[in-house]
Structure 1
Amino acid sequence: MAVQKFTGPLDWDDLRVFLELARAGSLSAAARGLRLSHATVGRRLAALESALGRSLMERRPEGYVLTEEGESVRALAEAMDERAQAIRRREGDDAGLTGTVRLTMTQALADIFLIPRLGPLRAANPGLDLEIIVDNRTLSLARREADLAIRLARPQRGDLVGRRLATLGYGLYAAPDAPDALIAYDESMAELPEALWLDRHGGGRRVAFRSNSVQGQLAAAVAGFGIAFLPCLLADGVPGLERRPLPGPSLTREAWLLVHRDRREVPRVRAVIGHLVAVFTAERERLEGRAGHREQPPEHG
């Protein structure tokens, strides 16, 4: 249906909804991301198209697709959004060591390793509030979904500053009487380096247990389902587990601390960065899997 030509005032909220819909590609995904109803997202898009007097999107079976005019408007909206986010990132820069710092990372790294080591940071900065967002997705630092991120990959975006925190070691773990079967990731995690390593060096063993949760795999190993390939920081020292020799070369992954350029000099963010660097440096051997562990020769066969 053609959009009537009408020139009216633009509403930034309409542009924001349009931009999220363009990024998500579907009404339901955009509604979830914006925490709005489907009807509101559709109404905002219609209002923007009416104000501009042009059709910006076509609804197809695979989702919403930008028209040629929509592509042009998206480019302008992206630039506006980046400037708006830059202003937001500067809010509270003079607040000193008070306020909230949002930090995102994987659940295993948060629950098992980092959160128990945040007490000294809190004691030294009583006005500082922390929000830990446990999520495997790469939350956007530019859109202020988080201030800091710990990820197991080097940053790719030019507006992010990265610092390597540590090298994480991995090992094979099993209960003493566990069967000669594997505990592995499900298909949704098949491209992870850990999953690829296990496929390559698993020796064709039967997979007795699958999970997309590292903690679930750890629990399965303790329960005796088989042999799991786990981060050493998670499995070393767990009662009921022993570390098995590796049947091939070891795997390591790098943990990177990411921050947006505009946020790295904010005092409260700098305080958290300093504490994280100190914690990861002090625990280097544990993270690498060398704490209290003597290397064994690889399996043969």
Structure 2
Amino acid sequence: MTDQKRTALDWEDVRIFVALARHGSLSAAARMLSVNHATIARRLRSLEESLGEKLVERRPEGYVLTPAGTRALEAASDMEQAAQVLKRGVADGAPAGLVRINSSPGLSAGFLASRLVNLTIRYPKLDIDLAPALRSVSLERHEADIAIRFDKPTDGDIIARLLTTVGYGFYGTEEACRSVEANGELVCIGFNEADAYLSAAKWMSEHFPLARVAFRAKDQFLQSIAARSGVGLALIPHYIGRSDPLLRSCDLGACLPSREVYLVTRRRDRKEATIRLVAEEIIAMFEQARELFL
């Protein structure tokens, strides 16, 4: 393919390639862009012909970038960001464009969402995409610009900065806590069976194997909402439990060990002003709320 004649780039080809590279499948890219599979495939071929390079390989697990595709994705993502900035205007030098942030569902709902939205008010040309996910997304594939991860990551050319240490506790209503403290039955709120592999779920099954789990939910913020009903105690991070006036902590003598949380960015983005600003704002958010976490 490298000997083929190059043609002018089409921005739509580039945009579709970025979506395919991020999501790894024709169907996911097609859903995101509201086009059909054939359009994705046709646009990809067009871009490969324009560049004279094979950009992706199809494998059983999905589409994987070739070395040329990895280089192309870096340049295409820069083009995408520049287009967003130009669309909003750059005359005043204010932060502009879209910044994608990945975090766990609990952190997203229980801490970040209410704070990050204020950035879009303070910086009218800035857009935030907050994507809660239990899995760690790939910064190299530009699935996110900033990731907030539990435990220090070691993969890729990244910068990882410690945000805080998250402590945990059992939380419930006053009535539910008093019942357990009076040696009543321990009734808990936990994770769905499909998420039994998570560290908090495994810890609960090891330390309180006889506890009844009356209600299950996919993330700890939802578990805190369930705990408001008084049905049982939820093992949740302090930053969620302490923020809910309807809940209080209940000492059961043992608790899930604390975990460190890191803010992760691509090393190559350290000079990208908008991403750097959002990262610094997030660091400040955690610093200001330090007492919630420990």
Same fold (TM over 0.5): yes
Q: Which residue of 1 aligns with 2:182?
A: none
1:165 to 163, 166, 187: 163
2:97 to 96, 100, 104: 100
Please give the alpha-carbon distance, in whole angstroms, between the structure 2 residues aligned to 1:217 and 1:80.
Answer: 42
User: Once the two structures are superposed, what CA deviation does each residue of 1:23-75 show, in whole Å capped at 9, x if it has no partner?
Assistant: 867542343355431232344567789999x9x9789xxx5778xxxx8x834
Answer yes or no: is the 8 Å Cα contact 1:31–1:37 preserved in 2. yes
Matches within 5 A, 1:191-202: 191-202=197-208
Aligned-partner SS, 2:155: coil
Answer yes or no: is the 8 Å Cα contact 2:165–2:260 preserved in 1. yes
Q: For structure 1, which segment, 206-215 or 152-161, has the greater mean C-alpha deviation from structure 2 after superposition? A: 152-161
Q: Which residue of 2 aligns with 1:264?
A: 270
Deviation at 1:22, TM superposition (A): 8.3
Aligned-partner SS, 2:126: strand
Q: Give me the TM-score of the superposition, normalised by structure 2.
A: 0.71
Please give the alpha-carbon distance, in whole angstroms, between the structure 2 residues aligned to 1:226 and 1:197.
Answer: 17
2:250 to 236, 244, 250: 244
2:190 to 170, 184, 190: 184
What are structure 2's unaligned runs of at least 5 residues? 180-184
Change (3 A) 1:270 1:237: closer
Q: Which amino acid aligns with 1:166?
A: T
Please give the alpha-carbon distance, in whole angstroms, between the structure 2 residues aligned to 1:276 and 1:172.
Answer: 27
Q: Give me the TM-score of the superposition, normalised by structure 1.
A: 0.70
Deviation at 1:162, TM superposition (A): 1.1
Change (3 A) 1:97 1:191: farther
Change (3 A) 1:58 1:213: closer
Please give the alpha-carbon distance, in whole angstroms, between the structure 1 residues aligned to 2:62 and 2:246.
Answer: 53
Q: Which amino acid aligns with 1:76?
A: A
Deviation at 1:143, TM superposition (A): 4.6
Please give the alpha-carbon distance, in whole angstroms, between the structure 2 residues aligned to 1:161 and 1:240.
Answer: 38
Q: Which residue of 1 aligns with 2:111?
A: 113
Matches within 5 A, 1:1-301: 27-32=26-31, 35-44=34-43, 74-85=66-77, 96-100=93-97, 102-104=99-101, 105-117=103-115, 126=123, 129-136=126-133, 137-175=135-173, 176-177=175-176, 180-236=186-242, 238-288=244-294
Answer yes or no: is the 8 Å Cα contact 1:172–1:246 preserved in 2. yes
Answer yes or no: is the 8 Å Cα contact 2:18–2:77 preserved in 1. no
What are structure 1's unaligned runs of at least 5 residues? 1-5, 289-301
Q: Which amino acid aligns with 1:204?
A: L
Greater Rg over alpha carbons, structure: 1
CA RMSD in angstroms comes to: 4.1
Please give the alpha-carbon distance, in whole angstroms, between the structure 1 residues aligned to 2:117 and 2:222.
Answer: 27
Larger helix fraction of residues: 2
- How many aligned positions are there? 272
Deviation at 1:272, TM superposition (A): 2.8
Change (3 A) 1:111 1:98: same
Deviation at 1:173, TM superposition (A): 1.4
